[in-house]
Amino acid sequence: MIKVEGLTKRYDRTTAVDHISFEVQKGQIVGFLGPNGAGKTTTMRVLTCFLPPTEGKASVAGYDVQEHPLDVKRHIGYLPESPPLYPEMEVDEYLAFTGRIKGVSSGGIRRRVDDVTERCALGDVRKKLISKLSRGYRQRVGLAQALIHNPDVLILDEPTAGLDPKQIIETRKLIHDLSGEHTIILSTHILPEVSTTCQLVIIINQGKLEAIDTPENLTARLQGHETIFVEVEGPADQVAARLQGLAGVTRVTRKDGQAGRNSWEIETAKDHNIRSLLAHAVVTSGWGLHELRPVGLSLEEIFLKLTTSDKAAEAAAEKQASGGTS
Amino acid sequence: MKNIWVLAQRELKGYFASSIAYIVLAMFAVIFGYFFYSATAIFVDYSMRSMMQRGMAPPVNLNDFIIRPLLMNVSVIVLFLMPMITMRLFAEEKRSGTIELLMTSPLRDIEIILGKWLAAMLLYLCLLGISALNILVLFLHGRPDWRALLVGYLGLLLLGAAFLGLGSFVSTLTKNQIVAASLTFGVFLMLWVLDWVTSYSTTTLGKVVAYLSITTHFEPFAKGVLELKDAIYYLSVIFLGIFLTARSMESLRWRA
Ligand SMILES: Nc1ncnc2c1ncn2[C@@H]1O[C@H](COP(=O)(O)OP(=O)(O)OP(=O)(O)O)[C@@H](O)[C@H]1O
Ligand SMILES: [Mg+2]
């Protein structure tokens, strides 16, 4: 449904997006993840034909953004970073206007407005002036505007920004309900958002694509090793020595335990199922095993890893290279 | 076509909601009303005296005496008020971010431009309507030449359309309505005073510069004389204004 190849966008000096390629299938929800200034908004603006790419290609619903912008725009519903609202209009009137300019026939407009106001829970404010709405309601009007012509593709730039927790959950649910019939790209820098709503995560940082995968795979991929948490009742130094001696264990770190108990985090090589081995070792030594569980990396950590450690590695590599040549 | 009308309706609504429309119309009504009153008062005074001196009906002509100077006045008032009409057209959309909505909707740039231009034109027509209401009063008391009057209004229409074209171009250059208005006013003023060169220069260059002046082409219209070269001048300025606006919108995408 969406295809991006070697997309690059340069502003005067800054390269906001740097040779990004990805593909999104019909009906998928894709999360665009990256810190401030990563290039999320810029990529979305290229996809919506607001900005032309400097290099590379992008196509939506089979239409190239540069060659057939009108066809692309007909298939896209776009919620920009700040909702594009006319404060002097009433909600209904505004939605009818956006519907008309997006090609909804004058006969069908009534039904579409009814439909999107219901979906976005705007029933109470339909006759209110947009200038009188709260931030959260404005965001919802922006979302309703993106849905008005029932587009195949939805591009939502930080759809939950500025909403209260209840509304965030409702919006996520709405986005989830919309998937299937719509292909959705949403951007965010809130991580739980992608793990709860998205089937595919695209992580970009400083304009470069860092990773693209399902949330589950990303978690697995980043776990080059497995971490296991154990809590054991027994003499600390002996336990530590015993654990360290087990095959496959790469590192043992002492954690603060409750009174009389000690806990460790044990890092092991991936796919080396060590849990039964661990349990066996503890029990046969006559100590009490209170707890034993794997510690998964949360997406939050993945994110930090991707954008911090990779960068650090790159910087180091760069340093080495320049040091080698001089 | 449908899109142009939908956009124009929204724009008109914006004019009235932001009360710019009321301010412009009220200011025009007051200033024009004042000029109209003065012109008729002078006319009445003059005809009274000519009647008393010669003891017969006034030989003076309503068209020459009232309508022509009034139309010239309208062209000047319009010059001052027009920046208020055009300043918001694009600057406001750029400031509030709604330009992103328009430019990502399946609309052609030219539809957006013509929609806005049409809305501004309709507001301008209201303004001309106010002046026409005043002038129609003259028909109750005399027999002005209505053909000359129509030509005069055609001239005002062309003059206004040309101002609006240029004004909307200037409005695409900034996010700030005040900046847009000031720049537009500067451009209009410059175009207005260009014909002053004729008072000191008779060279070809001087003539060319004078030809560019936006008001010299209006004088024949005010007199009721329809000349092709003046109509062509205004049509070219309208076209130029819309063309520049379109180019500027295109480059907006590249700069954004
Ligand atoms: N109009 C512009 N002119 C020049 N540089 C720009 C412009 N818009 C964005 N940039 C730069 O491009 C880079 C990417 O910006 P972008 O808005 O795409 O980031 P983002 O991922 O959306 O960030 P955020 O999470 O803060 O919204 C930034 O370094 C930004 O400074
Ligand atoms: Mg952004």
Average pLDDT, chain B: 88
Q: Which residues crowd ion ligand 2, with CB under 5 Å?
A: A 40-41, 81
Write the pLDDT tens digit of every residue in B141-169.
777 788 888 999 999 999 999 999 999 99
Closest by Cβ to B106, choosing from A45, A52, A103:
A103
Give chain A positions within 8 Å (CB) of B96.
84-87
**Cβ atoms within 10 Å of A231's Cβ, excluding its own:** 17
Element (H, E) at B211: helix B204-212
Q: Closest-lying ligand to the alpha carbon of A45?
A: 1
Query: In sequence order, which residues have a C-beta less than 8 Å from that of residue B69 and are 6 or more positions away?
Result: B39
Answer whether A230's CB lies under 8 Å from A292's CB. Answer: yes
If phi over 0 gives left and psi between -120 and 50 gives alpha, with beta otherwise, what is residue A31?
A: beta
**Which one-letter amino acid corresponds to residue B45?**
D
Of the residues B22, B105, B111, B112, the best mutation for testing chain A's interface (the one with the most A CB atoms within 10 Å of its CB) is B105
Structure tokens at B150: 């129509």
* Cα(A280) to centroid(ligand 1), Å: 55
Write the pLDDT tens digit of every residue in B22-73.
999 999 999 999 998 888 888 888 777 777 776 665 556 777 778 888 888 8
Distance CA A294, CA A326 (A): 47
Structure tokens at A271: 């796919």
Write the pLDDT tens digit of every residue in B77-92.
999 999 999 999 999 9
**Which one-letter amino acid corresponds to residue A61?**
A
* Mutational pocket test of ligand 1: of A12, A14, A210, the residue with most ligand atoms within 8 Å of the beta carbon: A14
CA-closest residue to ligand 1 atom 30: A37
Give chain A positions within 8 Å (CB) of B107.
101
Structure tokens at B223: 């007199």
B84 touches chain A (CB under 8 A): no
**Which one-letter amino acid corresponds to residue B124?**
Y
Q: Which of A11, A5, A3 is nearest to A54 (CA)?
A: A11
Q: Which of A39, A37, A30 is nearest to A2 (CA)?
A: A30
Phi, then psi, of A232 in degrees rounded to 5: -125, 140
Closest by Cβ to A50, choosing from B13, B107, B256:
B256
Mean pLDDT for B181-204 is: 83
- What is the DSSP-derived secondary structure letter of residue A296? P
Give chain A positions within 8 Å (CB) of B15.
none
Q: Which of A116, A196, A127 is nearest to A154 (CA)?
A: A116
pLDDT for A258 equals 63
Mean pLDDT for B241-249 is: 94
CA-closest residue to ligand 1 atom 1: B256
* Cα(B181) to centroid(ligand 1), Å: 30
The arrangement of strands across the sheet holding A29-33 comes to: A76-79, A153-157, A183-188, A29-33, A200-205, A208-213
**Which of the pair, A307 or B235, is modelled with greater confidence?**
B235
List, as one string, the DSSP characters of A151-211: -SEEEEESTTTT--HHHHHHHHHHHHHHBTTBEEEEEES-HHHHHHH-SEEEEEETTEEEE
Nearest CA in chain B to A69: B106
Distance CA B176, CA B146 (A): 42
Q: Is the dihedral of CA A183, A187, A190, A195 positive or negative?
A: positive
Q: Closest-lying ligand to the alpha carbon of A42?
A: 1
Distance CA A131, CA A138 (A): 9
Closest by Cβ to A101, choosing from B99, B107, B254:
B107
pLDDT for A309 equals 44
Answer whether B116's CB lies under 8 Å from B11's CB. Answer: yes
Distance CA B180, CA B167 (A): 8
List, as one string, the DSSP characters of B135-180: HHHHHHHS---HHHHHHHHHHHHHHHHHHHHHHHHHHTT-S-HHHH
* Cα(A66) to centroid(ligand 1), Å: 21
pTM given for the model:
0.81
* Mutational pocket test of ligand 1: of A15, A17, A18, A41, the residue with most ligand atoms within 8 Å of the beta carbon: A41
Query: Count H helices, E strands: chain B?
Result: 12, 0
Structure tokens at B178: 């005040």
Nearest CA in chain A to B17: A88
Answer whether A299's CB lies under 8 Å from A192's CB. Answer: yes
Regions of chain A short of the pLDDT cut 50: 309-313, 323-326
Answer whether B39's CB lies under 8 Å from B69's CB. Answer: yes
Spell out which residues line ligand 1, taking CB within 6 angstroms.
Answer: A 11, 14, 16, 34, 36-42, 81, 189; B 256
SS3 A68: coil
Domains and CATH numbers, chain A: 2-214 (3.40.50.300), 220-295 (3.30.70.3190)
Average pLDDT, chain A: 84
* Chain centroid to CA A303: 10
- Cα-Cα-Cα-Cα torsion A201, A206, A209, A213, nearest 10 degrees, comes to -20
Q: Which of A28, A299, A109 is nearest to A190 (CA)?
A: A299
Answer whether A302's CB lies under 8 Å from A255's CB. Answer: no
CA-closest residue to ligand 1 atom 5: A11
